[in-house]
Every structure is written in C-alpha cells, then in structure tokens.
Structure 1
Amino acid sequence: MKQLFIVLPLLLLMACGQQAADSNTETTAAPLAGGQSNVKDDTSEPDVVRIAVNSNVHKTLVAALKAANYVDALSNAGPFTVFAPTDDAFAKLPAGTVDNLVKPENKETLQNILEYHVYVGNIREELVQDGMTLNQVNLDNVTLNKDGDGNITVNGAKVLGVVKASNGMVYVIDTVLLPPDKK
C-alpha cells in the first residue's frame, strides 16, 4: 500500500511533465510595443503618467516626457514622487525655451531637467518636513519647505495640489524646476 502512495504521485508528475513537453502551442499575439505605457486599464488607480496625460494642465509636461522618451520609465512600478509643472509654469520660461528643449538635439538637456522633477520613492504629503532635502534622479537635490499652514514649496515652487498615483505621488507645481548649473 505504501508503494502505491509513492508510485501514484510519481506517475502523475511524470505524466504532467510529459504532456507539457509534448504540447506544441503557437502564440499569435503580437508583442506589445511601448512597454507598460500602452496597457489600458480604466479600473485601477492611474500611474503618474496617466495622471499627467488625463490632466488639462499638463499638456506641455506630457509633450516633454514623450520627447525625452520617459513615458515608459514613469509608467513602471516605481514608486516615484513627481513634481509636475503646469502648462502655466512652462509658459513662465523665456519665449522659445520649450520649443528648443523638445528638439532631438537637446534631448539630453531635457532629460536632465525632467529627471530633476523626479524622486525615486513615495513621499506622501504628511511626510514632508520643513527643510527636507531629496536627491533627484539626476543626482541633484531639491529642498521641500512646509509652513505652519501645511503649504509646501519645492525649491520655492508652490505645490498647488497633490495626487496619489498607483506608482507614487504627483505634486502639481507652479514653476519649472531648473537643475543647478554644473560649471
């Protein structure tokens, strides 16, 4: 009887293993180009990119993310804390700056600016402390300040709102953050 209990599971394992080895299945699904940013999911909490894409005030930021090829990177699991300048924030830059930055020959500069807006980690609003320093993706620091009323600034840029994303937090800001000159 003991031998039956030992032999029967072994036979089942061997049969399952043989069946898997014999099956010749073909996949007809085309590979998904573009990474996770192409996955449509209308029921889950949106990621930081979907929040920007669905926003009426972040069209310039989305165009910059596309020009720098950062849509997929920020669609990944994260977590990320993104300081997202509004269209009005970009409009405060000198005339022609945005048009110049999105040119292919300026991709590296644009990437550096965008990386200065991203921290790898999830900094929730209640965790922000006055004078807090974050080391951004481009390896430069930003300083967060919080006054007695709970108003937050990032390097002087006012935080207009905070949105929780599936892969982090989005802090909507009124000014484009420019990394320090490394001369």
Structure 2
Amino acid sequence: MKTSKFVIVLIAASLFACSSGDQSQSNASSTANQPADGGQATVQDDVSQQNIVQVAVGSADHTTLVAALKAAEYVDALANAGPFTVFAPTNEAFNQLPPGTVDDLVKPENQSKLRNILEYHVYIGVIRENMMRDGMKLNQANTKNVTVTKNGDKFAVNGANMVATVPCSNGIIYVIDKVLIPE
C-alpha cells in the first residue's frame, strides 16, 4: 500500500515537473520572437485590405499628409480599427496654402495646432457617398462641423472637391483638392 502511494506521488511529481518546464520554455521562446510594440501602424500584412495609414503611405500624392500625420503623432490613431472617414488632401492641396505654412505646422511647438487641423479631416464612422446629402453636416474628430455640398453627381466638403474614393480596412478615404482649415 505504501509502495503504491509512493509510485502515485512520484508519477504526479514527474508530470508536474515536465509540464511546468515545457510551459516556461514555450513562453520564453514566444516572447523572444515577438517584435517590439510599435502599435497597429507597424503591422505588416501584404494580404489583407490596407488601412487608412497604409493607403496614404503608399500614395505618391499624399506624402505631405503622411509627414503631417507623423509630425502630429496621429499615425497610430488612424491605423486603429476605426471606422473612420478621412478627407485626405493631396500634395497639390497643401501647395495651395501660403508659402511656409506646412513647414511651420510640422514644427514640434505647433503639434497641437497641426493635430487640430488633421482631426478636422477625420469623421469617426463611415460615410459612404450614397449616404451623403447636400447640406449635410459632419461632426469631425476635433468636434467642429464640416458641410457636404452636392453639385450634379459630385460632392464637396467645405468647398474641397472629392476627386477619388478609396475603401480601406478601417474606413474610407475621400481624396480632396483643398486642405480644410477649422475656423
């Protein structure tokens, strides 16, 4: 009887020792293979539909917008799940601003002003073209409203024409031909 109890205890101890050793080894290897945390903006995925940031980064027409997003530390926010509607001004739209405006806005001391301008281009939620109505007001991420207008079958927001539509995994981008400046 004592021998059978001893064998059971010995087997249980052996199983416990084996299982905890394997667990710590798998935990160590899984944490060693994990990359440093850079947020969703750093996730690389060549198969899925791209998010808003990935589309902007891949667009030669939006390099100024991407530089502004980085300067305002707004990249991770737009890489998140959303959904977002982004009115994305082109490089040409930024070039229409008075000379030196963009250079001034991307300075660290103007980060909050730049972020306010960028948030004026973002609606929390998805507004598809078939949902837009002439005179529709959208409350943007900076809590200010923009107004949608319709001219024929084309839409504009605060006078900026929507020239292209790009669906994304976390929302939709409307490419616009002017930079929206909050009042």
TM-score, normalising length: structure 2: 0.84
Q: Which has the higher helix share?
A: 2
Residue aligning to 1:151:
154
What residue is the counterpart of 1:166 in the other structure?
169
Give 1:33 deviation, angstroms: 2.9
How far apart, CA to CA, are the structure 2 residues paired with 1:129 and 1:51? 26
One-letter amino acid matched to 1:102: V
- Code of the residue aligned with 2:131 in structure 1: it is L
Secondary structure of 2:60's aligned partner: coil
The alpha carbon displacement at 1:20 in A equals: 7.2
Q: Distance in 2 between matches of 1:20 and 1:91?
A: 62
Does the residue aligned with 2:103 lie in a helix, a strand or coil?
helix
Query: Which residues of 2 match residues 12-161 of structure 1 at below 5 A?
Result: 19=19, 23-25=23-25, 26=28, 27-147=31-151, 149-161=152-164
Aligned-pair distance for 1:80? 0.2
Distance (whole Å) between structure 2 residues aligned to residue 69 and residue 82 of structure 1: 16
Tell me, in whole angstroms, the C-alpha distance in 2 between the residues paired with 1:19 and 1:132. Answer: 62
Offset of residue 31 of structure 1: 4.1
The letter for the 2-side match of 1:140 is K
Extract unaligned runs of 5+ from structure 1: 1-14
Deviation by residue 1:19-65 (Cα, 9 ceiling, x = unmatched): 57982231212443320111111111111111111111000000000
Distance 1:36 1:63 in 2: 18
CA distance in 2, matches of 1:175, 1:65: 17
User: Which amino acid letter does the alignment assign opposite residue 163 of structure 1?
Assistant: V
Distance (whole Å) between structure 2 residues aligned to residue 76 and residue 35 of structure 1: 9
Residues 72-122 of structure 1 show CA distances to partners (whole Å, capped at 9, x for unaligned) of: 110000000000000000000000000000000000100000000000001
Q: CA RMSD in A?
A: 1.9
What secondary structure sits across from 1:176 in the alignment?
A: coil
Unaligned runs of 5+ in 2: 1-14
Larger Rg: 2
